[in-house]
Structure 1
Amino acid sequence: MRMVNGITGVFMAAWITMAACLLAGCGESAPSRDVWEEALSAKHTGLAYLYRNDLEGAAGSFESVARLVPREPLGHANRALALLKLQDYEQAAASVDRAVDLAPEDGEVLSIKSDIVAARGDREAALGLLAHAVGHNASDVVLRYKYLTEMRRLRGPDLQEEDALEELQAMLEHEPENLAVLVELNEILVRLGRSREASAGYRRMAGLLEPVPEDLQTWLDRTLDALNRGDGAEAESSAGILGNLLVVDPAYRASRDRLGDPSQQSPPLYDFRTAPTELAEVAADSLVDMRFVDAGDEWMEGNLSEEEQWTDLVLADADGDGRPDLALAGRLGLTVLRNRVDGWEAVLSPWSGMDDSIPGPGDTVFQLIPGDFDNDGDIDILVAGPSSPQVYRNEGDGTFGLAQTLDPGESPGLFSAVSRADFDHDGDLDILESNMGSLRFYRHTEDGVFEEGTSATGFLESASGAPGRNAEGVTADVVTADVVAADGIAALPPAQPLAWGDFDLDGAVDVVVLFDDGAHRFYRNLRQGRWVDWTERFGGIRWGGAKLVAAADFNNDGALDLFMAGTASEGCRLLWNDNGYRFDREDTPPAFGAACDGLDVAAIRPFDFDNDGFIDLVLAGTSVPDRPGLRLIRNLGNGEFEERANLLPGLPANVEDVEAGDLDDDGDLDLVLLTEGRPLLLRNDGGNANGWLKVQLAAALEGSGKNNFYGIGSTIEVNAGSHYQSLHVDAAVTHVGLGSREKADVIRVVWSNGVPQNRIDPESLTLIIEPQRLKGSCPSLYTWNGDRFVFVTHLMTRSAIGALTETGAPAWPDAANDFVKIRGDQLRMLDGEFEVRVVEELWDAVYMDKMELLVVDHPAETDIFVDEKYLPPPYPDLEIHTVTDPRLPVAARDHHGNDILPALAARDSLYVGDYELGDFQGVPEMHSITLDLGDLKGADRIHLYLCGWIMPIEPSSNLALSQRRNVAVVPPYLEVPDADGQWQTTIPYTGFPSGEHKTVFIDLTDRFPAEDYRVRLTTNLELYWSEAFYTVDEPVRAETRITRLSPDTADLHYRGYSREYRTAPYGPFIRDYQVLSGEPQWLPFAGYRTRYGDVTPLLQASDNRYVIYSSGEEIKVTFDAADLPEPPPGWTRDFVLHTDGWLKEGDLNTATAATIEPLPFHGMAGYPYGPESRYPDDAELRAYQSAYNTRWVSQEYFRNALRLHGPGR
């Protein structure tokens, strides 16, 4: 884990292969370095093609590898894998046989060959190959687990439990802390009645989980109790429930990831076996000729008073010209040195007020933190001093004015450190303050206003309390205001600076906080604004000497590491992040001993001073005599570091602060120091000899609200040839070193809301603007129209389990029970069948429990509709509305008075939507449409039909809305005029379209108190209408003939993503099924999904036996229509598709969004449910899960896309 870069692992046994070649008299000359470089490029391209599911491209690229280095097995093996996926079994077999000849004992090569043999129908021979591979690779747990899985698949009930137990025990010998293996082993022991061994196994499991979460502890205790009592049935049931609960635990997921997914074909080979070792880029390039030079005092002359003593500094682009300015905290106020092309210009913003809560003359400002705190697109400054922090807003003219003094509540405490990020992932910056006695969380509520809200977050850990619980013994993830200690905060030891970032690689911001007593804490983000103390589980951070901490990816493996610094006598430590699983402090590079010796560290700045693509460090502080107060530490890229004092000019022993930024805009990072209260500029001369890249993120300011403007908390990944690095966005501009490479191949941004965005061939200065795209909306329905598959609409949009509503309450847990109309011209018969495709193309997990096609025959002069509006449960059953005489309103106007009747005359690409967007997607200004239905005196029944679509509000935006006082969601309500002509509400909630191209039915019968038949529909939901008509006195039930068809076949498989586009400025996002991208687009839900193949039995009834699938996956469903009678003469045919099940969005504020589990079920009272509820446990459902839900999906494949799969061109 220490030396990971673009090429992972170790290049295997090159000298053995070369020796074997010599002994065999090969006579072939070894490939040159240039040939190996060409093969390396072809390998990267092939892996990228595989990742994108471009199998022909992959096969071609790996054929090139095999041609360039014919005695290297990787090209042959990976070409075989691509051909296998193309079902070209003969060519695949020939390629893999060549790879086996070259590497006859290589487990990965033999695994691919076993897949090919199995695909050709000889599963016994395939199992024999795996047994042979295991014999030569006994410690390979992935290979062993695949062998065990294939034994189970082939032997079925004839496989003896003891045989499976033997394999699992062998795995544990080589990986004793693998929780997933231990769970399987324990469950077998329970079934075999070996209670004593099972009890020991569960106690061992508890040790790996320490501290055991409360819900797991409940079922662990029940399992152990049943084992002790000898109640085998109860022990088996409790053990099964415990196993299901464990699947969502990060420790279980990490261990299960290490076993691979044996339900799928083998992964490709990532590493060459025979390449020269120097080809592996695990070290930085040689240091370029560079040094830091004292820029002198000229830049300050005429700008800064000679007498002023500054207490803190920070670099930020205060005036928005793209160049970093220098902000200084002084006695009189905030001075900004504006960085002009021709020099510097000072602008003073005086401190506001002189009372005790506001910095003023004689006060000390400890910390300046830049950030766009009001999300208006410019940099504001957070000022932290001896009392309450203050937000100074950027006035747009180079000055800053006080916007808010944060109210700490009843116990202000003493300041220690403050930071800002979008901690709750609701699209704006929050503030986290650590001070003497507490952690305090300030939530952004509206337009740059912050409100203290610590009590509900989980930051209430008591120094003496058990890990994961506050002083009252309440589990931290459910702490609310009524369990806060009497003084408003929980007792804490004095807190010191903190670091934040996605340390556990689940997409959400975690927090590390240092405390004076050494009991430092790691708070894991549970989402929806809650954290839990995860220190004991994550490990490694409890070092009493630490006083400062910083986070960065120092080994370019995609995970944030921690650098901790102490006093002059304590030194420094580097904690490596073990793939998001835990911190490891046993391997601090020895260079830190000398570099930190004698330095009482006051500031840590990770930065890449030589642009070699590896993050270096600069430390500032108070040093022992004869050594400077600034230490420069170079990252050698191979897990080692070195101090480079020779690159610095002579400096004093006391340096209070240091900042890094490209002040002269020449492509390398300069340093600004604060020493003896005065700024000192060290210019970087020569660091730009290496390549570089500057990336600035810009979130949408209107109609979005998904990300803070500068994307603070996002991740930027860069691939340049074989070089990969991951950077944590903590400033408006992120500087990226590229080493000897002139430019990057690809940038991937994972925004702070979890949405990825790629930029191919980026320029050296790259602005990446947040895309306007849907990320969660439910699966897409495509139907065969006789010529091609066409998009119809989205399904099951009523269900959003785990999400938040705009009030902050959880969404309803009910299954969707959804009905959508399919027009007759959208679905035609194909070979005696009706065929539909249901594809998940957004960031959702789908639990599809039932599908049914209703064939609706009716007279040609009659049209049919179903009410497709969004309503709260209970959801109604099917009702067919028939229309014979649709009437257009006589007039229609929007809230501006514009004539909108032409846009509402037909279902086409014209939509009504002329209103101002708001801060959040889905919540614009209040708007209305007014329809005049004409003279309807004497009408008995009046029905209104509206067709349109809605831009959904995302769960994270709902969290933000629940915190706002100036914005409230107003669902559509309908008004009619009274006798005085005044509008009065007659339907408080009409419902709204539940997706694209949906019909809303509104019964207006007896709704008009006067003979004025106008209606006004008002809302601030982002609704777009394309058609409006009404009917008068239609028959209550016109004649129809309905035939219900159950699925004849249903096949689950990977498909990819159809091209998304919009038909018109106000039109919905729709997709072209014919234009496909195979590249995964979303961070996957981890857990067990339904295995690919036949899933027909799972769609027959709503019975909790459902198909679990997610992004990029498709169910192809056919309905046998061979015996379906033709419509009678003069009749026509439409369809209604009935689906039932649940959707879970991947939004970071959806509860348990990182995992497939917990599994939903009919009748559950809430989601996620607590220990009082559980997915039903009976023999039929256990059999269903073991037979169908066997496909393990890890998040690692997505996370490692750039690192392992190359540039993706």
Structure 2
Amino acid sequence: MYRLMNKSLLLLIIIIGITSCRPADREVQRTDADYQQAVADFYMSLGASQTDQSRFAFNKMNDVAQAFPKESAAWANLAVYAMRQGNFDLALDRIGRSLELNPEHEDVLFLAAIIDSRRGDMAGSIAYLQRAKAAAPENLRIRYALIQEMEREDDIANSPQIRENLLMLHDMIPQNQVVMIELVRLGVKEQDLELAGRFFDKMGEQTSDWDSDTQNQYRLVEGLIDEENISGLSLELSFLRSGLESHPRFQDDLLQVQLPPTDVGYLITEFIYLPAPEVKVAAPDLDVQLEKLPLELPVDRASWVKGVTLLEDSPPFPVGITNGEVVVDQNVRLQFPGNTDTLLPVSAAIEIDYNYNFRNDIAVAGDNGFRLYRLNGDQTFTDVTIETGISSTVRNGSYYGLWAFDMDMDGDLDILLARQNGSPLVLRNNGDGSFTEDEPFRGVSDVRNFLWADLTGDGAPEAIMLSVNGTVVTFNNMRGGRFSEGVTLAENAAAIAVADLNADGQFNIISVDVDGMFVKHRYNLRYAEWQSDIIIEQSNTSIDTGSARLFIADLDNNGALDLILSNAEQTTIWLGDEGRNPVLLDKVLPGGIVNVFDVDGNERLDLLGISEDLTPFHLKNEGTKNYNARSIRARASGDLGDQRINSFGIGGEMEVRSGLLYQKQLISSPIVHFGLGEYNEAQMLRIIWPNGSVQAEFAELGMGATIFNEQILKGSCPWLFSNDGEEIHFITDALWRSPLGLRINAQETAGVIQTFDRVKIPGQYLNPVNGIYDLRVTAELWETHFFDYAGLVAVDHPEGTEIFVDERFVFPAPDLSTRLMQTPRPVARVTDDNGNDLTETVSEMNQTYIKPFRKTAYQGLVEDHSIVIELDSNKPDSGEWLILSGWLRPTDSSINLALSQGSVEPPRGIKVEVLSGNSNSWDVLHEDYGIPAGKLKTILIDLENAFNSEENRKVRLSTTSEIYWDGIFQARKMDDSLISEIKLEPVLQELRYRGFSEWNRADAVSPKLPTYSEVASTAQRWRDLEGFHTRFGDVSELLAEIDGRYVIMNAGDELILHFESPGEPAEGYTRSYIFVSDGWVKDGDYNTEASASVLPLPYQGQADYEYSDAGNLFNDPVFQRHSEDWVNYHTRYITPHIFRSALLFNQ
């Protein structure tokens, strides 16, 4: 006993000794390795939470909590992660741990309140909010959340406290329109017209920047207040708020007082227990050395020089122009169309992969014309200028320079040619080696520089031009290759560049005028207008538009961007300091800098220049602080089956984060350089590709030097899931036949074929749980869904039979009736064009697919191919069905636009031919039978009376659509009257926010399918369509019948649909199900019409989607018909704010 106690005591002493040595129990130093790792893990977790890596985010935050158990921010964040997964037991445990450590911390209390609120515990939520308000009375969001929760609990009993808190909020933020309209609403609700009138008049002081319809609504409400018309006030005031919701300023005011509607809780972004990290940007290297050295070129003199990347797997190298030639190397020289006796503009030559073979070609423009040289596989060049199809006038024109960009965002690079005199010309890439001449930019001439960047935050890059007279003009991108009238931002500029200098996630134009003053031109998202701020008063450098060149790059690798201004006489550099402010580098440097380029591949950017006597040189960059850097290449996924983005992602954006260091840069060349300061690695990378898709990579998860674009569908309609009692299964997608604004070519959009939809749910995937059938419909892609109806039909049919619906996309729409047949049996044989036997693969439904085709460059379009299906000899007397199940990889609006511009034919539907007996000729049964309507769909072909003979029956299916077949069967027809269809009564129809499923693909021929049980993210995954969506909660009234009143779903939303079971089927019968729905889908593709917004709204009977750039909510006919739905249901206004600022954390 004594010995046992001694051992126990010894063990206790050891445990105490170990725990007393933990870092959390002594003063933590910022230099400690475990602290630095915790900082990295903490901020990596925050970044990962904004991507589809929710598990990685949880693990990284858990590492912080385990390493430093006293860090309550980590425990609180773990609670949020658990809540986002729907695991409230774990959320309560983790928030409890955080509360034990910091029981009166405002963020911990606020998160505890949010968790209780989502659990339905309003009293608990209010109690936590009261404590949070006491801990931080200045916190606007806590006070506003308290107001909302108290109103939900009991608006009458809590009225005095609601009023008190609203008035306090107004005192704190007196110009906030949200608070003012809430005070007006409170006054109307309580019939206190003095209160309502007082704050309504205050709102009136801010109406000058409202649109005319909202101003008219304001006057209408004003009249009702004057008349003391209480009965009409509440409704009209709600309409006023609806009008205000679309105003950027109102949305900004809303974010002051509440979390974005796409957020499930929020994450604490700073340590509570541990000391705060001190360094974001490292100190500038003011002792950096820039030594002038010769540049290794095959020639001694050059009028132009640049570092170029021609091959994706080779390092960049310098290329020069001299004596009328582009000198690539000792052996390769290309004619330059112009005078080369004097210094050429930086834009005289460009690298451009115009033909999508992942080799950069060379295009040049001079005073004697334009030339395009194709880089061949043997690294020789071919002049293909005439083959492009452009006119001799354009080929032989006089040009200042040229630039590559994707004008219409269709996945291939176009060329802007700047005439020496006159307006700029665009050569639009047709995708087949030819170009079309276009002049989309009116009102600007004699262009000397061109930039392409998203300045307004809507994803579509703006065109920015500098004219010879110093005018800076920007053209807002209206999508689809259309641009607004030009807006003049400056009139005496000598040089321009684009950058996110202050790392706020928004690109700005930086101009320097002829007196050397630097100005930042920023699009103010709050007021939707341009603002200009001086960065540097005067640089003591007199410059002109002809010789000045402005570059923005991180020369010293400290993590802040630097300004490099060069003219013929001298070069001046300002290094970004710890606050990202420009600090003059006190060095006399030669002028003539024409390019920024890492000459020796040591991750330090050197400066290429040409002296006045045309001698090329470089300023070798050698630092004294040895900061780290990372160069990253972007690349499309491949040269086959894609072409949604250009080869190297030109026009996209990259964001990196290491700890607290955040940076954002344009992808304007195949290699993007980031300085990292004292960080060893870019811990996280986020790429927004030119087509709008988003991808995140992490160093810890194997981020490579080249980032390949993931091929995921941006749009594919809502997804249907069913519950079998043990697991929730993905079934298929719905509403495939009613796309809104889907572009089919440069002039036309697809019409709405059919809003009504029926899809089969196999019986084994849906079983009643406590007498209830449970369905889920999720919105997970870059789309808005409009559900007018959602129902479930139970189909009882005899054992030994099966039912199907013809799930095709075709015009005219197919018959969606339920079809009864004997249990399908495999066909006798299936072969492809090459005689390969595919029978075994398609003889059962097991999610293994055939791929009987070769891909083209485009997603959704494959080479013309056929499969031949040989039927067995057991032909029934009653007729027969051919049943094919599989999935389709579709094109999208941008791909369709690209295809329409050239000679490449768009995908064709399935051509059905039959052959029988001894005939050698195929008879056409259907010229265009359509395609499967999405994922895991079945199409039916009626073979009754299809053959001339009962022997040797064969069917040939030919198409250029990208279809993968899982199963091909034949089945005897049966009398449809043997089935019993029971329309089930809904008992719950509720909209909620869920987030995004984990997506997985078994192999290259399988679709990416969602796993419902794994929530990959709850963050705003897409640049959502802006506008009103349906609030969460009961939506049964909207789904009850097909009447033009609908649920509007945003990405991340989920419809929960419960139906009452009618009991077991009769003896000898089995049961399958049909999901019935009606509605529309609009995706966010940049070339889908009106794709940035929910408006205009669809309506029943609409053959073509009617869109207008000038439309707003008040004049939309659907709103006018059902306006009260925007009071009772469609009150959740979505913007892409969080998407834009995902890695900024504190915004």
Q: Normalized against structure 1, the TM-score is what?
A: 0.80
Q: Structure 2 vs 1, CA of residues 1111 and 287 (structure 1 numbering), >3 Å: closer, same or farther? A: same
User: Given that residues 572 and 596 in structure 1 are in contact (C-alpha distance below 8 angstroms), is that contact kept between their aligned partners in structure 2?
Assistant: no
Contact 1:76 1:99 in 2 (8 A): no
| CA distance in 1 between partners of 2:365 and 2:407 (Å) | 19
In the TM superposition, what whole-angstrom CA distance separates every residue of 1:532-556 from its partner, at most 9, and x where no partner exists? Answer: 3484xxxxx7222213211112222
Contact 2:412 2:431 in 1 (8 A): no
Separation in structure 2 between the aligned mates of residue 1144 and residue 161 of structure 1, nearest angstrom? 44
Q: 2:278 aligns with which of 273, 277, 280?
A: 280
CA distance in 1, matches of 2:150, 2:393: 64
* Aligned 1:731-750 pairs, distance under 5 A: 731-750=669-688
1:331-355 deviation digits (Å, cap 9, x = unpaired): 4221124xxxxxxx4631124xxxx
Q: What is aligned with 1:947?
A: 885
Aligned to 2:1080: 1142
Q: What is the letter of the counterpart of residue 957 of structure 1?
A: I
Deviations 1:101-153 (A, max 9, x none): 665xx5x5664454467568774785587688779978765455435544543
Mapped to 2, the partners of 1:860 and 1:1018 lie a distance apart of 35
Aligned to 1:394: 375
Question: How far apart are residue 251 of structure 1 and its match?
Answer: 5.5
Structure 1 residue 672 and structure 2 residue 672: aligned? no
In 2, Cα distance between equivalents of 1:59 and 1:743: 19
**Aligned mate of 2:437, from 452, 477, 482:** 452
1:372 shift after superposition: 1.2
- Distance across 1 between alignment mates of 2:74 and 2:367: 63
Aligned 8 A contact 1:844 1:1146 in 2: yes
Structure 2 match to 1:828: 767
CA deviation string 1:883-928 (max 9, x = no partner)? 1275655554323343334444333344332211011100011112
SS of equivalent to 1:438: coil
Letter in 2 for 1:87: F
The aligned counterpart of 1:1040 is 979
SS at structure 1 position matched to 2:538: helix
Would the aligned equivalents of 2:862 and 2:907 in 1 still touch at CA under 8 Å? no
Equivalent residue number for residue 644 of structure 1: 585
Which residue is equivalent to 1:426?
410
Q: Are the counterparts in 1 of residues 62 and 74 from structure 2 also a CA contact under 8 Å?
A: no
SS at match of 1:854: strand
Aligned pairs for 1:904-923 (under 5 A) are 904-923=842-861
1:1101 maps to: 1041
Q: 1:499 aligns with which of 451, 455, 470?
A: 451
Q: 1:373-432 CA distances to partner (integer Å, 9 max, x unpaired)?
A: 222111112223236544322234444333237858999996455422223221111223
* Closer/same/farther in 2, CA of residues 564 and 915 from structure 1, 3 Å limit: same
Q: 1-side partners of 2:663 and 2:133: how far apart?
A: 34
Match in the other structure for 2:805:
866
Q: Aligned in 2, Cα 1:346/1:237: closer, same or farther, shift over 3 Å? A: farther
C-alpha separation in 2, matches of 1:287 and 1:1067: 52
Give, in whole Å, the separation in 2 of the partners of 1:87 and 1:119. Answer: 9
Report % sequence identity: 25
* Distance in 2 separating the partners of 1:91 and 1:709: 48
Native 8 Å contact 1:1147 1:1153 kept in 2? yes
**Counterpart in the other structure of 2:728:** 789
| Deviation (angstroms), 1:797 | 2.0
Whether the 8 Å contact between 1:363 and 1:386 is mirrored in structure 2 is: no
Paired position in structure 1 for 2:899: 961
Q: Which residue of 1 aligns with 2:384?
A: 403
Instruction: Determine if contact 2:1035/2:1047 at 8 Å carries over to the other structure.
Output: yes
Q: Relative to structure 1, is the Cα distance of residues 783 and 766 closer, same or farther in structure 2, using a 3 angstrom cutoff?
A: same
Give the aligned partner of residue 988 of structure 1.
927
Q: CA 1:1064 to 1:1146, structure 2 compared with 1: closer, same or farther past 3 Å?
A: same
Task: Pick closer, same or farther for the CA change 1:373–1:767 going to 2, 3 Å.
Answer: same
Stretch of structure 1 that moved more, 1049-1058 or 1164-1173: 1164-1173
SS at match of 2:978: coil
Question: Structure 2 vs 1, CA of residues 910 and 59 (structure 1 numbering), >3 Å: closer, same or farther?
Answer: closer
Partner of 1:1017: 957
Pairing of 1:1180-1195 with structure 2 (within 5 A): 1181-1195=1122-1136
Which of the numbers 365, 369, 373 marks the counterpart of 2:354? Answer: 373
CA shift in 2, pair 1:730/1:1099, >3 Å: same
Note if contact 1:319-1:397 (Cα within 8 Å) is conserved in structure 2.
no
Given residue 30 of structure 2, which amino acid in structure 1 is its aligned partner?
Answer: R
Aligned pair partner of 2:290 in 289, 292, 297: 292
Identify the residue that residue 33 of structure 1 maps to in structure 2.
30
Q: Deviations over 1:921-972 (max 9, x none)?
A: 0001111223345789997855433222211112221121222223333222
Change (3 A) 1:396 1:617: farther
2:413 counterpart letter in structure 1:
L
- Which residue of 525, 534, 538 corresponds with 1:593? 538
Map of 2:14 onto structure 1 = none
2:408 match: secondary structure? coil
Partner residue in 1 for 2:597: 661
2:566 corresponds in structure 1 to: 620
Report if aligned partners of 1:285, 1:612 keep a CA contact under 8 Å in 2.
Answer: yes
1:604-635 Cα distance to aligned partner (Å, 9 max, x none): 22111111122212222134xxxxx2122211
What is the alpha-carbon distance in structure 1 between the residues aligned to residue 640 and residue 714 of structure 2? 17
- Give the SS at the match of 1:1204: coil
What is the root-mean-square deviation in Å for CA atoms of aligned residues?
4.4
SS, match of residue 861 in structure 2? coil
Contact 1:910 1:1026 in 2 (8 A): yes
Unaligned 5+ segments in structure 2 are 1-24
Q: Is the 8 A contact 1:926 1:1020 kept in 2?
A: yes
Matches within 5 A, 1:257-268: 257-261=255-259, 266-268=265-267
Asked if the contact 1:571–1:599 (Cα under 8 Å) also holds between the matched residues in 2, the reply is no
Tell me how far apart the structure 1 counterparts of residues 48 and 93 of structure 2 sit (CA, whole Å).
19
Deviates more, 1:436-445 or 1:220-229: 220-229
Match of 2:463 among 511, 518, 521: 511
C-alpha distance in 2 between matches for 1:1075 and 1:101: 32
Change (3 A) 1:170 1:512: farther
Q: Secondary structure at the match of 2:986?
A: coil
Whether the 8 Å CA contact 2:282–2:678 is kept in 1: the answer is: no
Q: 1:169 to 1:848 in 2, by over 3 A?
A: farther
- The corresponding residue for 1:1174 is 1116
Structure 2 match to 1:1026? 966
Please name the residue that 1:1118 is paired with. Answer: 1058
Given that residues 707 and 751 in structure 1 are in contact (C-alpha distance below 8 angstroms), is that contact kept between their aligned partners in structure 2? Answer: yes
Q: Deviation per CA, 1:204-244, whole angstroms, max 9, x where unpaired?
A: 666436xxxxxx54665587589789998999989876765
Q: Which amino acid aligns with 2:408?
A: D
CA contact (8 A) 1:524 1:533 kept: yes
Deviation of the 1:571 alpha carbon:
2.7
1:202-217 counterparts in 2 under 5 A?
Answer: 207-208=208-209, 217=212
Q: What secondary structure does 2:935 align onto?
A: coil
2:629 corresponds to: 692
User: Secondary structure at the residue paired with 2:476?
Assistant: strand
- Pairing 1:880–2:818 present: yes
Measured in 2, the distance between the counterparts of 1:82 and 1:1067 equals 31
Check conservation: 1:523, 1:534, Cα contact below 8 A: yes
Q: 2:714 aligns to what?
A: 775
Task: Give distance in 2, aligned partners of 1:1138 and 1:1120.
Answer: 15
Query: How many residues are aligned here?
Result: 1091
3-state DSSP of counterpart to 2:710 = coil
Distance in 2 separating the partners of 1:902 and 1:1045: 39
Compared CA separation, residues 781 and 969, structure 1 to 2 (3 A):
same
Q: CA deviation at 1:729?
A: 0.8
Tell me, yes or no, if the aligned pair for 1:45 and 1:61 is still in contact at 8 Å: no
CA–CA distance in structure 2, aligned partners of residues 1039 and 856 of structure 1: 10
* CA contact 1:251–1:581 (8 Å) conserved in 2: yes
Distance 1:67 1:516, change over 3 A: same
SS in 1 for 2:568: strand
